[in-house]
Amino acid sequence: MTSAARPLLLSNVRLPDGSPVSVPVVNGRIEAPGPNVAPPPGAAIEDGGGALLLPGFVEGHTHLDKSHWGRAWYRNEVGPNLVDRIENERAWRKAAGHDAGAQSLALARAFLAAGTTRLRSHVDIDTDAGLHYLEGVLETRHALRDVLDMQIVAFPQSGMLIRPGTEDLLGSALAAGADVLGALDPALIDGDPVGSLNATFALAKRYGKPIDIHLHEPGDIGAFTLKLLLDRVEATGMQGQVVVSHAFCLGALPEPQALLERIARLDVALLTSAPPSRPVPPLKRCREMGITIFGGNDGIRDTWTPYGVPDMLERAMLIGLRYDLRRDDDLAIAFDCVSAAAARGCGFADYGLHAGARADLVLVDAETIAHAVVARPRRKLVVSNGHVVARDGALTDLA
């Protein structure tokens, strides 16, 4: 891996609107794209063969540290409840000596090969593992620092208040390099919505970090917790710095309008993996109200779920299916969830295909964005931070 990318001209590609362009890249940044652009001095030239040009994909919510990606099949015999899954996982990982460093690296590289150049991963912090999994994922981030823009969320998967010592560990995780403070079901896991949220916001303020909370709580109790959370966003001035992940409750309330208006006003973003078996926040309505709502895979091939692939086009397809998006203009919304909206929701800077943006580029053989989402074709070329990191689905030696 090199830290400085050689200049590049990506020629003979099509923008999503169909117009042919070439894209010059210097110092890892896009220079003015256009139909007839001279190669920058010393540039390598990549002929795109008329392929569709997309911005690098953004994974808004995954759990790199949990995955068994590339390992022997994990036989899932877990009970049906959230608590069963939490207990099973913590015990299994401890007993099996699960290597969060090696596994997060394997999965992150697979994401990169499939065109994801920015990624937010939650990482378990608990009183059994301490910061062990975080250390592994920090190593992965360091190893891929030139080619993958990674945010780490310090996530209390086993609860915070109910496991004394976790709060201090979360603080240590933020001090050690985690970018975002995570949280989990303040009422139904922590058992004390006010106390749990107060502790979370205090910790975030102390370390000057944004928040990304897992809120699985359904219907009325989810709405109750969400109101408490919004109160604290307002009281602490953390507008624009909080993501609510999952937010199933917003898909189940008969009248979520007042809550949605407040979410919009406080610039709280929503993350959905668009699970087919759960209520989900109303995608189009949120967008119309100005709420940033974006997509993520959640866990991939771990003790929680056997499903998932590190491919944001497949996640966009699943978002499209969940929200019954069939028209081409609607499928562009599904793609936005795993690209620009996710970059905005997570706060990844300089995102897009405009001059000045970080040169994160994906080429696919597809006629349109809608076609790319439903067909999920092999990635012909992936450029990240100006580096050619993958060709035809396989990583180059720059990744």
Choosing from 75, 97, 208, 254, the residue that interacts with a second copy (CB under 8 A) is 75
Q: Which two tokens stand for residue 174?
A: 């933020």
- Dist CA 307 CA 305 (whole Å): 5
CB of 309 to a second copy, least distance (A): 8
Residue 289 Cβ, how far from a second copy at the closest point, in Å?
A: 20
Judged by CB under 8 A, which of 374, 377, 378, 393 binds a second copy? 374
- Produce one character per residue of 10-22: b if its CB has 16 or more CB atoms within 10 Å, e if not: bbebbebeeeebb
Q: Binding to a second copy by residue 218, rule CB under 8 A?
A: no
Find the part of the chain contacting a second copy (CB under 8 A) among 74-82, 168-176, 200-208, 336-344.
74-82
Residue 301, interface with a second copy (CB under 8 A)? yes
Q: What is the DSSP string of 144-199?
A: TTTT-EEEEEEE-TT-STTSTTHHHHHHHHHHHT--EEEEE-TTTTTS-HHHHHHH
CB of 370 to a second copy, least distance (A): 6
> Under the criterion CB under 8 A, does residue 288 sit at the interface with a second copy?
no
Structure token pair of residue 386: 């100006």
Q: Does 111 bind a second copy (CB under 8 A)?
A: no
The three-state secondary structure class of 267 is coil
Residue from 265, 344, 371, 378 that binds a second copy (CB under 8 A)?
371
| Using rule CB under 8 A, residue 17 touches a second copy | no
Stretch that binds a second copy, among 26-34, 137-145, 176-184, 312-320 (CB under 8 A): 312-320
Considering only 112-120, 134-142, 236-244, 363-371, which stretch makes contact with a second copy by CB under 8 A?
363-371
**Nearest C-alpha neighbor of 284 from the set 245, 326, 346, 222:** 326
Residues 6+ apart with CB under 8 A from 309: 114, 297, 300
Q: Supply the minimum distance, in Å, between the C-beta of residue 217 and a second copy.
A: 17
27 SS3 class: coil
Per CB under 8 A, the list member of 172, 198, 236, 368 interacting with a second copy is: 368
Computed from CA positions of residues 310, 333, 17, 368, in that sequence, does the dihedral angle turn out positive or negative? positive
Identified binder of a second copy from the candidate list 62, 245, 305, 384, rule CB under 8 A: 305
From residue 90, alpha-carbon distances to 85, 137, 190, 244, 302 in Å are: 9, 17, 17, 24, 12
Distance of CA 328 to the CA centre of its chain: 24
Q: Is 321 in the site for a second copy (CB under 8 A)?
A: yes
* Residues in contact with a second copy by the rule CB under 8 A: 72-73, 75-78, 274-278, 301, 304-308, 317-318, 320-324, 326-329, 331, 366-368, 370-371, 374
